[in-house]
Amino acid sequence: MPLSEYSFPSNVPIIVEDDFFLYPFMISPIFLSDDKNIKAVNYAIEHNQTVMIVPSKEEHEGQRDFETIYNSGVIGTIMRKVTLPDGRIKILFQGLAKGRIIDEVDTNPLIATVDLITTKQYDSSKVVAILNILREKIKYLSNINQQFSPDLIRAIDENDEPNRIADLISSYIKLKKEQAYRLFIEENIELRLFMLIDLIVENIESSKLQKEIRSKVNVKIEKVNREYFLKEQLKQIQNELGIDNQRDEEIEEYRKKLEKIKKYLDEDAIKEITKQIDRLSKMHPESADASLIQNYIEWVLELPFGKYSTKKLDILEVQKHLDKDHYSLEKAKERIVEFFAVRELLNLRGKSD
Protein backbone atom coordinates (compact mmCIF):
# COMPACT_ATOMS: atom_id res chain seq x y z
CA MET A 1 0.00 0.00 0.00
CA PRO A 2 1.46 3.44 -0.93
CA LEU A 3 2.31 5.79 1.91
CA SER A 4 -0.19 8.32 0.58
CA GLU A 5 -3.02 6.00 1.58
CA TYR A 6 -2.03 6.26 5.25
CA SER A 7 -2.90 9.37 7.32
CA PHE A 8 -0.44 10.92 9.74
CA PRO A 9 -0.09 11.48 12.65
CA SER A 10 -1.03 7.87 13.30
CA ASN A 11 -0.65 5.24 16.01
CA VAL A 12 2.02 2.83 14.78
CA PRO A 13 3.68 -0.25 16.36
CA ILE A 14 7.43 0.17 16.97
CA ILE A 15 10.10 -2.40 16.15
CA VAL A 16 13.46 -1.79 17.85
CA GLU A 17 16.63 -2.55 15.86
CA ASP A 18 19.94 -2.89 17.73
CA ASP A 19 22.53 -3.17 14.99
CA PHE A 20 21.93 -0.69 12.19
CA PHE A 21 19.99 2.28 10.83
CA LEU A 22 17.46 1.75 8.08
CA TYR A 23 16.60 4.38 5.46
CA PRO A 24 13.54 5.05 3.30
CA PHE A 25 13.25 3.07 0.05
CA MET A 26 15.42 0.27 1.47
CA ILE A 27 14.06 -3.27 1.34
CA SER A 28 15.73 -5.23 4.13
CA PRO A 29 15.38 -8.67 5.72
CA ILE A 30 15.24 -8.36 9.52
CA PHE A 31 15.47 -11.17 12.08
CA LEU A 32 13.57 -10.72 15.33
CA SER A 33 13.62 -12.84 18.48
CA ASP A 34 12.36 -10.77 21.42
CA ASP A 35 8.74 -10.80 22.49
CA LYS A 36 7.94 -7.08 22.12
CA ASN A 37 9.24 -6.86 18.54
CA ILE A 38 7.33 -10.00 17.50
CA LYS A 39 4.16 -8.62 19.09
CA ALA A 40 4.64 -5.36 17.16
CA VAL A 41 4.95 -7.32 13.88
CA ASN A 42 1.82 -9.34 14.60
CA TYR A 43 -0.11 -6.21 15.58
CA ALA A 44 0.83 -4.47 12.31
CA ILE A 45 -0.18 -7.48 10.20
CA GLU A 46 -3.48 -7.98 12.04
CA HIS A 47 -4.43 -4.32 11.71
CA ASN A 48 -2.98 -3.88 8.20
CA GLN A 49 -0.78 -1.06 9.47
CA THR A 50 2.60 0.36 8.82
CA VAL A 51 5.34 -0.13 11.40
CA MET A 52 8.22 2.10 12.37
CA ILE A 53 11.69 0.62 12.90
CA VAL A 54 13.65 2.65 15.45
CA PRO A 55 17.28 2.03 16.51
CA SER A 56 18.15 1.51 20.17
CA LYS A 57 20.53 4.01 21.74
CA GLU A 58 24.18 3.13 22.23
CA GLU A 59 24.78 0.89 25.25
CA HIS A 60 21.06 0.14 25.45
CA GLU A 61 20.97 -2.67 22.91
CA GLY A 62 18.47 -5.37 23.84
CA GLN A 63 16.25 -3.00 25.83
CA ARG A 64 12.75 -2.38 24.53
CA ASP A 65 11.26 0.75 26.08
CA PHE A 66 10.80 4.36 24.99
CA GLU A 67 13.62 5.67 27.23
CA THR A 68 16.26 3.51 25.52
CA ILE A 69 15.38 4.15 21.86
CA TYR A 70 15.75 7.15 19.58
CA ASN A 71 12.56 9.06 18.85
CA SER A 72 12.91 8.77 15.05
CA GLY A 73 13.07 5.92 12.56
CA VAL A 74 11.80 4.55 9.26
CA ILE A 75 8.10 4.05 8.62
CA GLY A 76 7.36 1.18 6.27
CA THR A 77 5.42 -1.97 5.54
CA ILE A 78 6.02 -5.66 6.24
CA MET A 79 6.10 -7.37 2.86
CA ARG A 80 6.59 -10.89 4.20
CA LYS A 81 6.83 -12.74 7.50
CA VAL A 82 8.42 -16.16 8.04
CA THR A 83 8.60 -18.09 11.31
CA LEU A 84 11.92 -19.88 11.69
CA PRO A 85 12.47 -23.29 13.39
CA ASP A 86 14.47 -21.69 16.24
CA GLY A 87 11.54 -19.49 17.24
CA ARG A 88 12.74 -16.31 15.58
CA ILE A 89 10.81 -14.58 12.83
CA LYS A 90 12.15 -13.10 9.65
CA ILE A 91 10.40 -10.15 8.04
CA LEU A 92 11.02 -8.42 4.76
CA PHE A 93 10.64 -4.71 5.47
CA GLN A 94 10.20 -1.94 2.91
CA GLY A 95 11.00 1.57 4.11
CA LEU A 96 8.73 4.34 2.89
CA ALA A 97 9.45 7.51 4.86
CA LYS A 98 11.08 8.97 7.94
CA GLY A 99 8.98 9.33 11.05
CA ARG A 100 9.20 10.87 14.50
CA ILE A 101 7.53 9.75 17.74
CA ILE A 102 5.33 12.51 19.13
CA ASP A 103 3.46 10.56 21.80
CA GLU A 104 3.74 7.21 23.62
CA VAL A 105 0.62 5.03 23.40
CA ASP A 106 1.51 1.53 24.71
CA THR A 107 4.56 -0.39 25.95
CA ASN A 108 3.81 -4.05 25.11
CA PRO A 109 4.15 -3.96 22.22
CA LEU A 110 5.58 -0.49 21.80
CA ILE A 111 2.98 1.68 20.06
CA ALA A 112 3.42 5.39 19.49
CA THR A 113 1.78 8.26 17.69
CA VAL A 114 4.18 9.17 14.89
CA ASP A 115 4.34 11.89 12.29
CA LEU A 116 6.40 12.26 9.14
CA ILE A 117 9.74 14.07 9.05
CA THR A 118 9.67 16.47 6.15
CA THR A 119 12.50 18.40 4.52
CA LYS A 120 12.46 22.18 4.69
CA GLN A 121 12.37 24.10 1.44
CA TYR A 122 15.80 24.82 -0.01
CA ASP A 123 17.63 26.74 -2.71
CA SER A 124 18.09 24.27 -5.57
CA SER A 125 21.16 26.01 -7.03
CA LYS A 126 22.96 25.90 -3.66
CA VAL A 127 22.09 22.25 -3.14
CA VAL A 128 23.34 21.33 -6.63
CA ALA A 129 26.67 23.04 -5.90
CA ILE A 130 26.99 21.24 -2.56
CA LEU A 131 26.11 17.90 -4.20
CA ASN A 132 28.88 18.38 -6.76
CA ILE A 133 31.40 18.83 -3.92
CA LEU A 134 29.99 15.78 -2.13
CA ARG A 135 30.24 13.62 -5.28
CA GLU A 136 33.84 14.75 -5.78
CA LYS A 137 34.75 13.79 -2.18
CA ILE A 138 33.00 10.42 -2.52
CA LYS A 139 34.97 9.57 -5.67
CA TYR A 140 38.22 10.60 -4.00
CA LEU A 141 37.47 8.42 -0.96
CA SER A 142 36.51 5.52 -3.22
CA ASN A 143 39.88 5.77 -5.00
CA ILE A 144 41.67 5.47 -1.64
CA ASN A 145 39.82 2.57 -0.01
CA GLN A 146 37.34 1.18 -2.57
CA GLN A 147 34.56 1.58 0.01
CA PHE A 148 31.98 2.51 -2.64
CA SER A 149 31.13 0.18 -5.49
CA PRO A 150 31.01 1.48 -9.08
CA ASP A 151 27.24 0.90 -9.08
CA LEU A 152 26.81 3.13 -6.03
CA ILE A 153 29.00 5.86 -7.55
CA ARG A 154 26.87 5.66 -10.70
CA ALA A 155 23.65 5.86 -8.67
CA ILE A 156 24.91 8.94 -6.81
CA ASP A 157 25.94 10.60 -10.10
CA GLU A 158 22.65 9.88 -11.85
CA ASN A 159 20.35 10.80 -8.94
CA ASP A 160 19.25 14.42 -8.45
CA GLU A 161 17.19 13.97 -5.27
CA PRO A 162 19.45 15.26 -2.44
CA ASN A 163 17.80 13.37 0.42
CA ARG A 164 17.96 10.12 -1.55
CA ILE A 165 21.68 10.72 -2.20
CA ALA A 166 22.27 11.56 1.48
CA ASP A 167 20.48 8.35 2.55
CA LEU A 168 22.52 6.24 0.12
CA ILE A 169 25.83 7.64 1.34
CA SER A 170 24.82 7.45 5.01
CA SER A 171 23.96 3.77 4.62
CA TYR A 172 27.43 2.97 3.23
CA ILE A 173 29.86 4.91 5.40
CA LYS A 174 30.72 3.73 8.89
CA LEU A 175 28.95 5.94 11.41
CA LYS A 176 28.41 5.82 15.13
CA LYS A 177 24.74 5.63 16.09
CA GLU A 178 24.66 9.21 17.35
CA GLN A 179 26.24 10.50 14.12
CA ALA A 180 23.79 8.49 12.01
CA TYR A 181 20.88 9.76 14.10
CA ARG A 182 21.85 13.43 13.75
CA LEU A 183 22.14 13.01 9.98
CA PHE A 184 18.87 11.09 9.87
CA ILE A 185 16.70 13.69 11.61
CA GLU A 186 18.22 16.81 10.00
CA GLU A 187 15.45 18.59 8.07
CA ASN A 188 17.71 21.24 6.50
CA ILE A 189 19.13 19.45 3.45
CA GLU A 190 21.93 21.98 2.96
CA LEU A 191 23.12 21.44 6.53
CA ARG A 192 22.71 17.68 6.16
CA LEU A 193 24.89 17.59 3.03
CA PHE A 194 27.56 19.74 4.72
CA MET A 195 27.55 17.33 7.68
CA LEU A 196 28.09 14.47 5.23
CA ILE A 197 30.96 16.29 3.51
CA ASP A 198 32.66 16.78 6.89
CA LEU A 199 32.28 13.06 7.66
CA ILE A 200 33.62 12.09 4.22
CA VAL A 201 36.65 14.37 4.71
CA GLU A 202 37.29 12.67 8.08
CA ASN A 203 37.07 9.29 6.34
CA ILE A 204 39.50 10.50 3.67
CA GLU A 205 42.07 11.63 6.25
CA SER A 206 41.65 8.38 8.20
CA SER A 207 42.00 6.28 5.05
CA LYS A 208 45.11 8.20 3.95
CA LEU A 209 46.67 7.67 7.38
CA GLN A 210 45.82 3.95 7.35
CA LYS A 211 47.25 3.65 3.84
CA GLU A 212 50.45 5.40 4.93
CA ILE A 213 50.78 3.14 7.99
CA ARG A 214 50.18 0.01 5.89
CA SER A 215 52.80 1.20 3.42
CA LYS A 216 55.36 1.76 6.20
CA VAL A 217 54.55 -1.61 7.74
CA ASN A 218 54.96 -3.33 4.37
CA VAL A 219 58.30 -1.57 3.79
CA LYS A 220 59.47 -2.64 7.25
CA ILE A 221 58.35 -6.22 6.65
CA GLU A 222 60.13 -6.26 3.30
CA LYS A 223 63.30 -4.88 4.96
CA VAL A 224 63.15 -7.50 7.72
CA ASN A 225 62.57 -10.26 5.18
CA ARG A 226 65.46 -8.97 3.04
CA GLU A 227 67.79 -8.80 6.04
CA TYR A 228 66.80 -12.31 7.08
CA PHE A 229 67.38 -13.58 3.54
CA LEU A 230 70.80 -11.91 3.32
CA LYS A 231 71.80 -13.23 6.73
CA GLU A 232 70.83 -16.75 5.70
CA GLN A 233 72.85 -16.33 2.52
CA LEU A 234 75.82 -15.11 4.56
CA LYS A 235 75.55 -18.14 6.83
CA GLN A 236 75.60 -20.46 3.83
CA ILE A 237 78.61 -18.65 2.35
CA GLN A 238 80.43 -18.82 5.68
CA ASN A 239 79.64 -22.52 5.96
CA GLU A 240 80.99 -23.08 2.46
CA LEU A 241 84.17 -21.21 3.38
CA GLY A 242 84.48 -22.99 6.70
CA ILE A 243 83.89 -19.79 8.65
CA ASP A 244 81.93 -20.21 11.86
CA ASN A 245 79.87 -17.38 13.33
CA GLN A 246 81.06 -18.52 16.70
CA ARG A 247 84.48 -17.08 15.85
CA ASP A 248 82.96 -13.57 15.56
CA GLU A 249 81.37 -13.98 18.99
CA GLU A 250 84.69 -15.14 20.48
CA ILE A 251 86.59 -12.18 18.96
CA GLU A 252 83.99 -9.77 20.36
CA GLU A 253 84.30 -11.43 23.77
CA TYR A 254 88.12 -11.02 23.70
CA ARG A 255 87.72 -7.30 22.93
CA LYS A 256 85.30 -6.88 25.86
CA LYS A 257 87.70 -8.63 28.24
CA LEU A 258 90.59 -6.43 27.07
CA GLU A 259 88.46 -3.34 27.62
CA LYS A 260 87.86 -4.36 31.25
CA ILE A 261 91.57 -4.73 32.08
CA LYS A 262 92.98 -1.80 30.06
CA LYS A 263 93.45 0.38 33.12
CA TYR A 264 95.90 -2.18 34.57
CA LEU A 265 98.05 -2.44 31.40
CA ASP A 266 100.62 -0.13 29.90
CA GLU A 267 100.22 1.18 26.36
CA ASP A 268 102.58 -1.34 24.74
CA ALA A 269 100.73 -4.29 26.28
CA ILE A 270 97.36 -2.97 25.06
CA LYS A 271 98.73 -2.50 21.53
CA GLU A 272 100.17 -6.02 21.46
CA ILE A 273 97.04 -7.75 22.69
CA THR A 274 94.86 -5.70 20.29
CA LYS A 275 97.19 -6.58 17.43
CA GLN A 276 96.92 -10.31 18.16
CA ILE A 277 93.11 -10.15 18.43
CA ASP A 278 92.94 -8.35 15.05
CA ARG A 279 95.24 -10.98 13.52
CA LEU A 280 93.08 -13.79 14.85
CA SER A 281 89.89 -12.19 13.45
CA LYS A 282 91.35 -12.28 9.92
CA MET A 283 92.73 -15.82 10.02
CA HIS A 284 91.09 -19.06 8.97
CA PRO A 285 90.00 -20.87 12.15
CA GLU A 286 91.56 -24.16 11.03
CA SER A 287 95.07 -22.77 10.53
CA ALA A 288 97.86 -23.76 12.99
CA ASP A 289 98.83 -20.13 13.65
CA ALA A 290 95.23 -19.28 14.54
CA SER A 291 95.19 -21.91 17.27
CA LEU A 292 98.52 -20.67 18.65
CA ILE A 293 97.45 -17.01 18.70
CA GLN A 294 94.08 -17.86 20.26
CA ASN A 295 95.79 -19.79 23.08
CA TYR A 296 98.09 -16.83 23.67
CA ILE A 297 95.19 -14.34 23.79
CA GLU A 298 93.15 -16.50 26.15
CA TRP A 299 96.17 -16.99 28.43
CA VAL A 300 96.89 -13.25 28.58
CA LEU A 301 93.28 -12.29 29.20
CA GLU A 302 92.90 -14.83 32.00
CA LEU A 303 95.80 -13.32 33.97
CA PRO A 304 94.45 -11.70 37.17
CA PHE A 305 95.29 -8.10 36.25
CA GLY A 306 94.25 -5.75 39.03
CA LYS A 307 93.96 -8.52 41.62
CA TYR A 308 96.67 -8.47 44.28
CA SER A 309 97.40 -10.88 47.10
CA THR A 310 97.81 -9.55 50.63
CA LYS A 311 99.81 -12.60 51.67
CA LYS A 312 103.45 -11.98 52.69
CA LEU A 313 106.03 -13.19 50.17
CA ASP A 314 107.92 -16.34 51.33
CA ILE A 315 110.67 -17.83 49.11
CA LEU A 316 110.44 -21.25 50.74
CA GLU A 317 106.69 -21.39 50.03
CA VAL A 318 107.29 -20.37 46.40
CA GLN A 319 109.83 -23.23 46.03
CA LYS A 320 107.40 -25.65 47.66
CA HIS A 321 104.54 -24.78 45.27
CA LEU A 322 106.81 -24.97 42.21
CA ASP A 323 108.05 -28.46 43.17
CA LYS A 324 104.48 -29.57 43.84
CA ASP A 325 102.97 -28.28 40.59
CA HIS A 326 105.83 -28.85 38.14
CA TYR A 327 107.98 -31.95 37.68
CA SER A 328 111.56 -31.36 36.51
CA LEU A 329 112.12 -27.94 34.79
CA GLU A 330 114.82 -27.27 37.39
CA LYS A 331 116.43 -24.34 35.59
CA ALA A 332 113.08 -22.62 34.99
CA LYS A 333 112.13 -23.05 38.63
CA GLU A 334 115.51 -21.69 39.74
CA ARG A 335 114.98 -18.52 37.70
CA ILE A 336 111.52 -18.02 39.18
CA VAL A 337 112.83 -18.48 42.72
CA GLU A 338 115.66 -16.05 41.98
CA PHE A 339 113.14 -13.46 40.70
CA PHE A 340 111.04 -13.64 43.86
CA ALA A 341 114.18 -13.70 46.04
CA VAL A 342 115.29 -10.40 44.50
CA ARG A 343 111.81 -8.92 45.10
CA GLU A 344 111.88 -10.10 48.71
CA LEU A 345 115.33 -8.57 49.20
CA LEU A 346 114.18 -5.24 47.75
CA ASN A 347 111.13 -5.25 49.99
CA LEU A 348 113.32 -5.88 53.03
CA ARG A 349 115.52 -2.91 52.06
CA GLY A 350 112.39 -0.76 51.67
CA LYS A 351 112.77 -0.35 47.94
CA SER A 352 110.02 -0.90 45.36
CA ASP A 353 110.64 -2.93 42.24
Q: Give the C-alpha separation, 226 to 232, whole Å.
A: 10
Is the predicted pLDDT of residue 53 greater than 90, yes or no? yes
Task: Kindly list the distances between the CA atom of residue 197 and the CA atoms of 40, 200, 221, in Å, as whole numbers in the listed order.
Answer: 37, 5, 36
By the 8 A CB rule, do 13 and 78 touch?
A: no
Q: pLDDT tens for residues 280-317?
A: 887 776 677 888 888 898 888 888 887 776 667 677 77
- pLDDT value at residue 160: 85
> What pTM was estimated for this model as a whole?
0.57
Torsion sign (Cα): 203, 204, 209, 215: positive
Is the predicted pLDDT of residue 143 greater than 80, yes or no? yes
- pLDDT value at residue 238: 63
Higher-confidence residue of 135 and 284: namely 135
Q: Give the C-alpha separation, 121 to 26, whole Å.
A: 24
Which phi and psi angles does 30 have, rounded to 5°?
A: -135, 130
Those residues with Cβ within 8 angstroms of residue 341's Cβ, 6 or more apart along the chain or in another chain: 315
Is the predicted pLDDT of residue 63 greater than 80, yes or no? yes
- Report the chain's mean pLDDT, rounded to a whole number: 84
Nearest alpha carbon to residue 37 among 71, 9, 61, 7: 61
Q: pLDDT tens for residues 72-86?
A: 999 999 999 999 998
Torsion sign (Cα): 318, 322, 328, 334: negative
Q: What share of the chain is helix, strand, coil (3-state, %, to 5)?
A: 60, 15, 25
- pLDDT value at residue 353: 53
Q: Give the C-alpha separation, 1 to 65, whole Å.
A: 28
pLDDT bracket for residue 149 (50, 70, 90)? confident
Q: pLDDT tens for residues 194-245?
A: 999 999 898 888 888 887 887 787 777 777 777 777 777 776 776 666 555 6
pLDDT bracket for residue 105 (50, 70, 90)? very high
Q: Provide the β-strand partners of residue 99.
A: 73, 116
Q: Give the C-alpha separation, 189 to 182, whole Å.
A: 12
Torsion sign (Cα): 334, 340, 342, 348: negative
Nearest alpha carbon to residue 77 among 95, 54, 55: 95
- pLDDT value at residue 244: 57
Which phi and psi angles does 291 have, rounded to 5°?
A: -65, -40
